[in-house]
Amino acid sequence: MSAALHVVDTEGVDALTMRRLGQELDRDPMALYRYAANRAALLDGIAELVMGQLVIATSGADWREPLRRAAHDFRALALAHPNVVPLLATRPLATPLGLRPPGTLRPLEQVLDLLISAGFAPARALHVYRTFFGLLYGHVLNELQEVVVDPEETDALLRLGLHRLPPREFPRLRSVAPDLLAGYDGAVELDQALDLLLTGLHPAPAGGTHPS
The whole-angstrom separation of Cα 12 and Cα 106 is 25
97 or 15: which carries more pLDDT confidence?
15
Determine what percent of the chain falls in helix, strand and coil, rounding each to the nearest 5: 65, 0, 35
The number of beta carbons lying within 10 Å of the beta carbon of residue 51 is 21
* For range 51-55, the mean pLDDT: 92
Query: How far apart are the C-alpha atoms of 15 and 36, rounded to whole Å?
Result: 17
Residue 212 reports pLDDT greater than 50: no
Task: Answer yes or no: CATH 1.10.357.10 is held by domain 2-198.
Answer: yes
Q: Which residue has the higher pLDDT, 205 or 56?
A: 56
**57-92 per-position pLDDT tens digit:** 998 789 999 999 999 999 999 999 999 998 888 776
The answer to whether residue 52 scores a pLDDT higher than 70 is yes
Single-letter amino acid, residue 6: H
Residue range 104-137, pLDDT digits in tens: 889 999 999 999 999 999 999 999 999 999 999 9
Q: pTM of this prediction?
A: 0.74
Lowest mean pLDDT among 92-101, 144-153, 160-169, 188-197: 144-153
